[in-house]
Amino acid sequence: MSIQSVASRSRQVDPALALPIQYRTLSYQISESKAQDFDKYINVKDAATKEFSELEWHTISTDEALRRLTTSATEGLSEEQIGRRIKEYGRNAPSPPKSRVIQTWFGYFFYGFGPVLLVGGILPPAVANLALAIVLFAVFLLQAAFNGFQDWSSSRVMSSIKNMLPEDCLAIRNNAQVSIPASELVPGDIIYIKAGNKIPADVRFIRVSSDAKVDRSILTGESVPLSAAKDSTDENYLETKCIGMQGTHCVSGSCTGLVVATGDRTVFNRIANLTQEPKSKLSTLEREVLNFVIVICSIMFVAIPIVLLAWGLWLRKDHPDYISVPTLIVSIVSVAIAFIPEGLPIALTAGLTITANLMRRNMVLCKSLKTVETLGAVSVICSDKTGTLTENRMTVTDFTIGTHSITADKAKAQNELDDSANPNPNPANDGIVLTVVGQLRAIASLCNAAEFDAATADKPIEKRRIFGDATDQAILRFSERLGSVRAMRDSWKKTYELAFNSKNKYMIRTFTLASIDCLRDTLPEREASSFGSGDILLTIKGAPDVLMNRCSHLANDDDDDKARFDNLKNSYSSRGKRCILLARKVIRQSDLPFDPSTSQFEDAVLNHAQTDLTLIPDVVRTLRGAGIRIFMVTGDFALTALAIARDAGIVFSPSSLVDDVSALDREKLSKSSPSTSTIVISGPELPSLGEGQWKALTLYDEIVFARTTPEQKLRIVREFQQDNIVAMTAADIGIALGSGSDMAIEASDMVLLDSFSSIVEAVQYGRVVFDNMKKVICYLLPAGSFSEFWPVITSVLFGLPQILSSFLMIIICCLTDCAAATVMSYEKPETDILLRRPRNPKKDGLVNWQLLLHAYGSVGILQTVASFFASFWYLQRNGIPFIPDEVEKDYYVEKLNIASSIYFVDLVVMQWFNLFAVRTRRLSIFQHPPAFNKATRNLYIYPAILFALFMAILWLYIPQLHPILGTLPISTSHGRRQHSNHQMSTSIVAALPKWPC
């Protein structure tokens, strides 16, 4: 049995989405390793992380790099050096992926029960055995087809990657410039790169022009080009600007580069290979299925030696003519076939597919079947706030300028009064509105990446569509209420932009004056009158804790009281409001003489931005009831995050009972739960936590992680994964919202198409699918394993007639029982499904001793005894004793075939009632009826029963099949006598108690 990925069969994966996921993960891991003692990190299992962490090409000087590669920046490599290095390093091209066709196809056929089915098909050439062999081979091929179907995917990143690499490049070799195929580059080559070129290999820049910029979006997913640099700017090889990576674009300027890596050693090809590597870690479902296969095969391999010992020590000596060696081999294979529920792989896979389709109807998209069940075992959900716990829609409600705090509605009203020539002006308020509020409106319009959709320009401001993130949308709407954003932007010409990112936590835009129309609305009169045509207006927007220390004074010239400002920020945050700081600075032309397209301009702007700025719940409750801890992981301030967590129902404790990092004892390793249940911890505090503190942190029931970076989010997930099943991107199961970014969706295992509330359905179906798999196994084992095993073993050991033919065994497993087992996937959740604690995968297995006791020791024994009784009673009534001695052969065969049909029908009919008995794990048929109640009904059960009846008629009552299959119909008179037996046995089956399995 195999449960593999079925993700993305109908689409081609865009490398621009697949590569950045691996790139960012690798970059975070490298940064993490740099922050630790390298001796501790040397045993890291991720070879790529270890290798990139050890690289020094970006930290050494250019002269040292040239020396190490024995090359010259002016002369390049010699022909002799090139020949040696081509032999050593090979071509500068990605190696073709390892061909695992034989291994893959071998796994399709021989994984799980495949080998037993194949061996069972190789039987002596009797007519009945031939029919059995055909059926076994059909099941063998069908199982392989299911495994192949699950593993097939049209996502082929490598096929697209080759088209992203350049074909030719300009290099220096033998003191001459030559154009060579990019595939012939070797480490040590000196190459020229100009605007528009793709970088053909990993290079260390040794010369760069002032305006050189590189677009790394194919690797990072970030569209803003980075300036190239000659010297190192970061210890992380993947983040420094002095390294040009293969596949990236030079968008402006020119560079000279020293090739330091080619072929599979480049960052581009290493990450491309990582996207193709299969995950070695088994999912919880794969582990459960593997454990079940081991249990069944273990029991089977115990029974086979018993047969061999009985034959070798007893039957061969005392009854030499009873079982020959060929017959012994057939008997052993029959024992194996009898004990294996051959229909189980088909039923489980079909059930998972059905569940995945049901989840899609509930707006939950599963990209892999194996993740369906994993979500049912989730005990921790790490959730972002924006767009998940909240609606990802913000509105500006209050703002503060100097010592004046004003609501957005009041500012709008005051602005409208001013426009209508307010006859009773208030000098204080009007002064603020006419000057500083106008300046705030200007910065809000200019330092903003959001844009109005022109198609909705005629609609009210609240209903206009805006392209941009939620924060920018709110600020843009606020600015538009106070005046025209378009008019403001038309008055200024943008010269530079640094986009907001989670590491800097701010964005920068610079402008030169395009029109004087809005100059006095943007700057106070003193600065406006002196603003020259070549001067620069620097605007910045971001996190107050990052920008506040860069500000030198307030916009309305109030005293610079930063303590009062911090108190105000905390007050806003404690009410769940996000705080954004807007600031500006006028830079004179003489202080910034560089061209805006150069890297010197960018460096100067960033330097000026350092100083002298002018400051301008139901979903969660349900999941908690299901025993799942939900933690908020956000970039907001601690007080803001705590307020939102309270509103969402994540935190219930009052502020006085909320712990902080000081509650985590560095020295003491705690294994007991903390005295309080809630803790708020900020990102900057995480790197200093020791192992004992992390262990204590994971014991809290309510946790809010504030001011976290993407790297820290990855660390949080890893710490909780040690003892929990974690749901979050990059965790045991990655979950993304359908409204999220393409890369987030590509990296996830499950997508919530509607909203975060869909996760309740996802968790519910995750638990349902585990329940249903237990029901399927509990349903199939009594008839498909136990009741088929005893006819074979009693025939081999005691000389009784094999009362059930091997062919009818396969019909039960693959047809009559398999159909009914499959429709159990349509069972509605039991009422207590979201009131249980999450199952512990280490303790609550798919198959445990309670299930085996119920299937074998209870239902299995009942069905076996009842079927033996009916079949041997029929033989006894027709003159064939329990152990036949002198009976005419043809007569004996005829009656034995009828008895086999009786045994078969007995099992089929009793399984109908067993189906009703096991369709619920904890509730009775009266509490969870299969019909008449829409919340619990499963009408597919009845067609499955009719299908089983049709199969019995097909194989037993068509005369043309009798001589081929060795089957015969049951007489009507015996059927009437059997009816009372069925009533008794099936009533007992239906009335069996619910075992806690």
Give the separation between CA 843 and CA 97, rounded to whole angstroms: 39
Q: Where are the alpha helices (DSSP H) in 812-923?
A: 817-823, 849-852, 861-877, 889-918
Give residues with Cβ within 8 angstroms of 602, minimum separation 6: 227, 496, 498
Q: Structure tokens of 541?
A: 């927007």
Find tokens 């942190």 and name the residue.
Answer: 697
Given 202, 211, 215, 384, which residue is catalytic?
384
Q: Structure tokens of 586?
A: 């006028």
Listing DSSP states for 293-323 in one string gives HHHHHHHHHHHHHHHHHHIIIIIHHH-TTT-
Start-to-end C-alpha separation, the chain = 22
By the 8 A CB rule, do 737 and 722 touch?
Answer: no
Give CA 609 to chain center in angstroms. 39
Candidates 60, 82, 61; CA nearest to 71 is 82
Candidates 379, 376, 431; CA nearest to 406 is 431
Q: Structure tokens of 219?
A: 């690797």
Question: Any catalytic annotation for residue 618?
Answer: no
By the 8 A CB rule, do 972 and 957 touch?
Answer: no
Give the separation between CA 392 and CA 643, rounded to whole angstroms: 16
Give the separation between CA 184 and CA 529, rounded to whole angstroms: 61
Q: Where are the alpha helices (DSSP H) in 35-95?
A: 38-41, 47-54, 62-68, 79-89
Rounded to 5, what percent of the chain is helix, strand, coil?
55, 15, 35
Q: How far is CA 957 from CA 402, 945, 949, 953, 963, in A?
A: 94, 18, 12, 5, 12
Q: What are phi and psi of 754, to 5 degrees?
A: -95, -75
Listing DSSP states for 196-230 in one string gives TPBP-SEEEEEEE-TT-EEE-HHHH---S-EE--S
The beta-strand segments (E) located in 485-599 are 492-498, 506-513, 536-542, 551-554, 581-587
Give the separation between CA 748 and CA 733, rounded to whole angstroms: 7
Q: Where are the alpha helices (DSSP H) in 698-833?
A: 710-721, 742-747, 758-781, 787-798, 806-811, 817-823
Find tokens 């600007």 and name the residue.
Answer: 241
Give the separation between CA 361 and CA 363, rounded to whole angstroms: 5
Q: Structure tokens of 905?
A: 């029908």
Give the separation between CA 497 and CA 854, rounded to whole angstroms: 68
Q: How far is CA 753 from CA 745, 756, 757, in A?
A: 10, 9, 10
Give residues with Cβ within 8 angstroms of 83, minimum separation 6: none
The count of C-alpha atoms lying within 13 angstroms of the C-alpha of 702, restricted to the half-sphere facing its C-beta, is 25
Give the separation between CA 981 and CA 906, rounded to whole angstroms: 9
Question: Which residue type, as a one-letter code, is found at position 65?
Answer: A
* CA atoms 299, 305, 307, 309: torsion sign: negative
Question: Which residue type, as a one-letter code, is found at position 555?
Answer: A
Give the separation between CA 140 and CA 113, rounded to whole angstroms: 9
By the 8 A CB rule, do 202 and 182 touch?
Answer: no
Question: Which residue type, as a one-letter code, is found at position 17?
Answer: L
Give residues with Cβ within 8 angstroms of 54, minimum separation 6: none
Catalytic residues: 384
